[in-house]
Structure 1
Amino acid sequence: MPTDPRMLRGDAPLLDAWLRFQEQPPTPFTIPGHKQRTDLVGDVIAGDVPLYAGLDTMKLSAGVLADAESRAGRLWGADFCRFSTDGATHANQSVALALGGDGDRVVVSRSLHRSLLLGLVLAGLEPVWVRPEVDRATGLPLGVRPDEVRRALARNPDVRAVFVGDPSYVGTVGDVRGLANAAHEHDVPLVVDAAWAAHFGFHPDLPAHALSLGADVVVTSAHKTLPAWSQAALVLANAGRIDLARLDAAVEATATTSPAGAILASTDAARALLARDGAALLGQALEAVASARRRLHEVEGLVVLGAADVDPLKLTVLLPGTGADGIAVERDLIDRGFPVESADRDVVIAVLSMADTAETVSAYVDALVAAIARHRGPARDPASVGTYQVQPDMAMLPRQAYFAATQAIPLSEAIGEVSAELVAPYPPGIPVLAPGERITVQSMATLDAAAHAGVRIAYAADPSLQTIRVVRK
């Protein structure tokens, strides 16, 4: 279902402003320094229009950004909406700053992305950790149970907010309504990092979006499952338990002062498309992935994640029963032009969106089935140690550890020391170690298992993990 973006401009003020800039190009005496000339460094800068003195005047007198954010708020049923050109990372960190600081305590799911964990450092928050339930057979997360949040709140009555991520990176969907009820029983807000769920709620076969289920703040990435530029994200919130003025100030405090107009315009255009054609486009993609699941279920030994509690547009497959190595499968897929979101020894994850068609999905499945057949071997047990099973041992506040005097020591000597850095297998970017946590046998084993499974270990000062920075005694 191709669509002409010009047909969306009547409902997309930022897109309309971007198109007008292309139709009547000025001779700018403002930044950016390329001055719209593609003869200098090429088309790599084509379409780069600033918000200030580009989509709007330098004084923002046309109000196109505020108009677009207001329309997005109405679409999601939110009292507050801000666009981010720095992704869900900026959005998560602004929410952390808005909800507390300097020793305030918050309940935090351990399965959250590194961006929120570093938000704790920025805001000086103390985490009260809760862990998602983990499926014993696969080692994959099933979501944080509401009763787990209730217990954490009962033990820590001074908590200021509850932060969870839902859906998970692998696509599993938790009980957001139950989590909202648990938080609200203690009169604290529920914040949901729904980076992978911008499409939720816009087709009857998809889960409802978190705001409609009672969440107070939702962060979502327009670029992950909607047709927006990379780094496009939104912060959505409802009044009541949230100081919206403080949230707005936090967004401003952590945002770039030179926002990319193309990212903003694409967020606006994706929102307008979702409102107009979202159900039809998502319906086509859902039919395609349902057909893909049926085909993949016929592959001997392959487990396809998919039930009522999984995002239908996340195609996650588990390989141990086939004996195939996911890293080898990924290499085959890349060679055939099908890069995937994530692959390790046991799991391959493909992200689908409203941009996918029956043809693209079918071609991917052909390539995946062929790669599994090529690398098939004796069945094996899934990895027994995983990121989602790590039990953090917090020795000091994340902010204190981050700014403490540190030293690099050999990893072989690090057990029992306090980590000064955040270390995470990537993707998905969920930390095994965060600043202030004691390095344990379990955390070391998890990092070692991830590295041997072919996953990149990210964010450590020493990428080889021969050494690690710890708090100096």
Structure 2
Amino acid sequence: MNIIAIMGPHHAFYKDEPIRELDGALAAQGFQTIYPKDAGDLLKLIEHNPRICGVIFDWDEHGFDLCSEINQLNEYLPLYAFINTHSTMDVSVNQMRMAIWFFEYGLGAAEDIGQRIRQYTNEYIDTITPPLTKALFTYVKEGKYTFCTPGHMAGTAFQKSPVGSLFYDFFGGNALKADVSISVTELGSLLDHTGPHLEAEEYVARTFGAEQSYMVTNGTSTSNKIVGMYAAPSGSTVLIDRNCHKSLTHLLMMSDIVPIWLKPTRNALGILGGIPKREFTRESIAQKVEQTERASWPVHAVITNSTYDGLLYSTRYIKETLDVPSIHFDSAWVPYTNFHPIYNGLSGMSGDRTPGKIIYETQSTHKLLAAFSQASLIHIKGEYDEQTFNEAYMMHTTTSPNYPIVASIETAAAMLRGNPGKRLINRSVERALHFRREVQRLREESEGWFFDIWQPEGVDEPQCWPIQPGEEDWHGFNDADADHMYLDPIKVTILTPGMSEQGVMADEGIPAALVAKYLDERGVVVEKTGPYNLLFLFSIGIDKTKAMSVLRGLTEFKRAYDLNLRVRNMLPDLYAQAPEFYRNMRIQTLAQGIHNLIRDHDLPRLMLQAFDKLPEMKLTPHQMFQQQVKGNVETVDLSKLVGRVSANMILPYPPGVPVVMPGEMITEESRAVLDFLLMLCTIGRHYPGFETDIHGATLTDEGQYLVRVLKA
């Protein structure tokens, strides 16, 4: 952070010469200077170069207007205005709150001004650096000798071995020096929430609109368990979104609690819908309690917000309607909702406290923000017992936390503060909208078929689009509630030919798995692949280069598909898995073969029925896991699952949402769940390389899927 932008005065020697002297003084201070052509050029440089740490300009030529425009980009950036004895200083009190310093033109003053600019730059860096990260940077710079963990001793141990030296050189010295022990007292404690760690949690809470926040280094899988362990005592009943993350199923296996499922919808494409409003009513919950063995009135509820496919709830209705003491919004995929007005009212922390209730929100700070993997946050609004909650926190948190992960959580929060943070999220939204418009344009201009996009008509303005009743043409949810769910624009779902949103199968189709494999071989990894849809996430790290690579990949796929190239030429990695099978096969033959299998299994019916009638709970997940620990299980073929109690959760990837829970039994009424799983298995058996990853099932070398069940 040593770049100073200088907007030099024009055609005035008595101003040019002092600036030339200052340029030399700044170089002596370690600064690099750049000279934008005009104000527009300067603003573009600031917008796209966050390492610029100050701007020098002529007050008479630019004045307060330029300061205001810079302030909209970064209100913390130091501004240095040069004036002369005749300059007009018409600056209001509010304007003086900006980071502006004034200097007079004069020869021989450059060294002093350069020192002051260095001082103000250091203050700027200090202002934007959050507390724990600042303390960690300081500790690393001090270079203390420690005689505690970790054993690599700031990377020294790695440099005593050839392979260790490779590791050290790859990751760099500071990354290893920042991996310090919890014994370092000046950094405080993540477990006791003291010192810079406490300051960091308070900083994060203010940033995300929470009353209290906790930083978690084991991912949101752990955050979900922490909240659940505190909120749901043994023997209690909990409402849980059926489209939950598997970490919540693990919570149910660990704790002796009774789950009652809130049943969401899906459309024929397999896109995860939300829980209908009727499921949240007291009447609906009372009926579920009556029908569930050992159930009592729920003490806690868990809602996935947003869904994997980017559907967000209007959370106020849920907070006010659900008659439970606490509500947990699992918002792993949307840690950015507090930083753009289009998400107002669509997050757990939105709005004020809910009287008589505690609201929790867990977020994967690493998923769509700039934090390291495993970085997660827990946010809380409402009265709770901090000491008991911290016991649950320590129960799942390591006593040797990775401090770079913690610092990355805090830094991700710092990046979102103020105008720079708003601009970051706004640019993600704008890039996603631009990408959507480009796909539409290519579809209109293409001869024959092209990819479609799951969205309503007219996506020009930044907004979250409502999933409204009576508009099934685009979203495909037949029983949508008004003003209940909204599509996040940065979650972009591309549709391939073969099936409409209403579930009408075409005679010809291109299963999305083919496109995903094609893109993967060209360096583009898709977040989620459905039967005829691909999900792309436009996080803050996505730039135009990455977006254009997707567009190029889609157009190249169309060109290759229309030419009907051989599989070995179009998908060489797939060909390498089974060269004999794919030796003479062409891409259209492969696509049509998989499409026919999907059509023969009547996928639209399976999608709508498989998640409508749930399997029957014979044991709670906790009871079933205890049976498994005791060895009271056996293995059967997946096709034999009807009438047997599943020992494990069974979930196909993607999307990684359990379809059978531990202790549940598929009956003839819920057989569509099994038929859906068998369809996925059939595709892999017929076409090598298209095997489905089904957690909870073991795929043998012979192509058989085995599952564990309770002994008969």
TM-score, with normalisation over the residues of structure 1? 0.90
The reply on whether 1:174 has 2:313 as its aligned counterpart is yes
Pick from 206, 209, 214: which aligns with 1:74?
A: 206
The reply on whether 1:412 has 2:639 as its aligned counterpart is yes
| Structure 2: distance between partners of 1:266 and 1:125 | 34
Corresponding letter in the other structure for 1:357: D
Q: 1:90 to 1:232 in 2, by over 3 A?
A: same
1:153: how far off?
A: 2.4
Q: What is aligned with 1:3?
A: 50
Determine helix, strand or coil for the equivalent of 2:655: coil
The reply on whether 1:154 has 2:286 as its aligned counterpart is yes
Q: String of CA shifts for 1:20-67, please: whole Å, max 9, x gaps.
A: 244333333222222222434213654141351458458679711111
The reply on whether 1:303 has 2:452 as its aligned counterpart is yes
| Structure 2: distance between partners of 1:326 and 1:56 | 53
| Structure 1: distance between partners of 2:641 and 2:391 | 40
Pick from 141, 156, 161: which aligns with 1:23?
A: 141
Q: String of CA shifts for 1:368-415, please: whole Å, max 9, x gaps.
A: 332244346689669323475562321111100011021222323332
**For 1:394-473, what aligned pairs fall within 5 Å after superposition?**
394-404=617-627, 405-440=632-667, 441-451=671-681, 452=683, 454=690, 456-460=692-696, 462-464=698-700, 466-473=705-712
| Structure 1: distance between partners of 2:187 and 2:261 | 45
C-alpha contact (below 8 Å) 1:113/1:428 kept by paired residues: no
Q: 1:428 to 1:51 in 2, by over 3 A?
A: farther
1:461: how far off?
A: 5.9
| Structure 1: distance between partners of 2:649 and 2:277 | 27
Pick from 96, 99, 108: which aligns with 2:228?
A: 96
| Structure 2: distance between partners of 1:2 and 1:51 | 35
**For 1:138-217, what aligned pairs fall within 5 Å after superposition?**
138-150=269-281, 151-155=283-287, 156=289, 158-183=297-322, 186-206=323-343, 208-213=346-351, 216-217=359-360
Determine helix, strand or coil for the equivalent of 1:403: helix
Pick from 589, 593, 603: which aligns with 1:383?
A: 603
C-alpha contact (below 8 Å) 1:425/1:455 kept by paired residues: no
Q: 1:248 to 1:146 in 2, by over 3 A?
A: farther
C-alpha contact (below 8 Å) 1:343/1:349 kept by paired residues: yes
Determine helix, strand or coil for the equivalent of 1:296: helix
Corresponding letter in the other structure for 1:212: S
| Structure 2: distance between partners of 1:18 and 1:383 | 54
Q: What is aligned with 2:376?
A: 233
1:78: how far off?
A: 1.6
Q: What is aligned with 2:526?
A: 340
1:463: how far off?
A: 4.1
Determine helix, strand or coil for the equivalent of 2:349: helix
| Structure 2: distance between partners of 1:295 and 1:225 | 23
C-alpha contact (below 8 Å) 2:187/2:197 kept by paired residues: no
Determine helix, strand or coil for the equivalent of 2:411: helix
1:97: how far off?
A: 0.7
Q: String of CA shifts for 1:101-124, please: whole Å, max 9, x gaps.
A: 333111111101100111111122
Deviating more after overlay: 39-48 vs 228-237: 39-48
Corresponding letter in the other structure for 2:359: D
Determine helix, strand or coil for the equivalent of 2:373: coil
Determine helix, strand or coil for the equivalent of 1:164: strand
Q: What is aligned with 1:261?
A: 403
1:188: how far off?
A: 2.6
Deviating more after overlay: 273-282 vs 49-58: 49-58
Q: 1:243 to 1:388 in 2, by over 3 A?
A: farther
The reply on whether 1:52 has 2:279 as its aligned counterpart is no
Q: 1:391 to 1:55 in 2, by over 3 A?
A: farther
| Structure 2: distance between partners of 1:28 and 1:416 | 60
1:244: how far off?
A: 4.1
| Structure 2: distance between partners of 1:319 and 1:76 | 37
1:259: how far off?
A: 0.9
1:187: how far off?
A: 4.1
Q: String of CA shifts for 1:301-329, please: whole Å, max 9, x gaps.
A: 53322351211111111213483232221
| Structure 1: distance between partners of 2:613 and 2:50 | 46
Pick from 403, 416, 421: which aligns with 1:274?
A: 416
C-alpha contact (below 8 Å) 1:83/1:233 kept by paired residues: yes
Pick from 148, 154, 162: which aligns with 1:36?
A: 154
Q: 1:54 to 1:320 in 2, by over 3 A?
A: farther
| Structure 1: distance between partners of 2:379 and 2:300 | 16
C-alpha contact (below 8 Å) 1:409/1:467 kept by paired residues: yes
| Structure 2: distance between partners of 1:470 and 1:143 | 30
| Structure 2: distance between partners of 1:74 and 1:231 | 22
Determine helix, strand or coil for the equivalent of 1:264: helix
TM-score, with normalisation over the residues of structure 2? 0.61
| Structure 1: distance between partners of 2:492 and 2:437 | 12
Pick from 368, 374, 378: which aligns with 2:560?
A: 374
C-alpha contact (below 8 Å) 1:145/1:179 kept by paired residues: no
What are structure 1's unaligned runs of at least 5 residues?
A: none
Tell me the number of residue pairs that the alignment of Structure 1 and Structure 2 aligns.
469
1:14: how far off?
A: 2.1
1:147: how far off?
A: 1.7
| Structure 2: distance between partners of 1:57 and 1:244 | 21
Q: 1:165 to 1:2 in 2, by over 3 A?
A: farther
C-alpha contact (below 8 Å) 1:93/1:119 kept by paired residues: yes
Corresponding letter in the other structure for 1:397: T
C-alpha contact (below 8 Å) 1:146/1:182 kept by paired residues: no
What are structure 2's unaligned runs of at least 5 residues?
A: 1-47, 54-121, 290-295, 444-448, 457-464, 466-485, 499-507, 563-587, 685-689
The reply on whether 1:294 has 2:437 as its aligned counterpart is yes
| Structure 2: distance between partners of 1:220 and 1:414 | 35
| Structure 2: distance between partners of 1:36 and 1:390 | 56
Fraction of identical pairs, as percent: 24
C-alpha contact (below 8 Å) 1:167/1:197 kept by paired residues: yes
| Structure 1: distance between partners of 2:265 and 2:705 | 32
Q: 1:368 to 1:8 in 2, by over 3 A?
A: farther
Q: String of CA shifts for 1:395-445, please: whole Å, max 9, x gaps.
A: 111100011021222323332111111221123321112111113422322
Determine helix, strand or coil for the equivalent of 1:258: coil
C-alpha contact (below 8 Å) 1:423/1:433 kept by paired residues: yes
Corresponding letter in the other structure for 2:603: A
| Structure 2: distance between partners of 1:229 and 1:257 | 19
Corresponding letter in the other structure for 1:293: R
1:233: how far off?
A: 0.5
Determine helix, strand or coil for the equivalent of 2:307: coil
| Structure 1: distance between partners of 2:286 and 2:523 | 51
Q: String of CA shifts for 1:242-271, please: whole Å, max 9, x gaps.
A: 444433321111111111111100000000
Q: 1:297 to 1:35 in 2, by over 3 A?
A: same
Q: 1:370 to 1:21 in 2, by over 3 A?
A: farther
Corresponding letter in the other structure for 1:205: I
| Structure 1: distance between partners of 2:349 and 2:487 | 18
| Structure 2: distance between partners of 1:55 and 1:439 | 54
Deviating more after overlay: 148-157 vs 429-438: 148-157
Q: 1:237 to 1:413 in 2, by over 3 A?
A: same
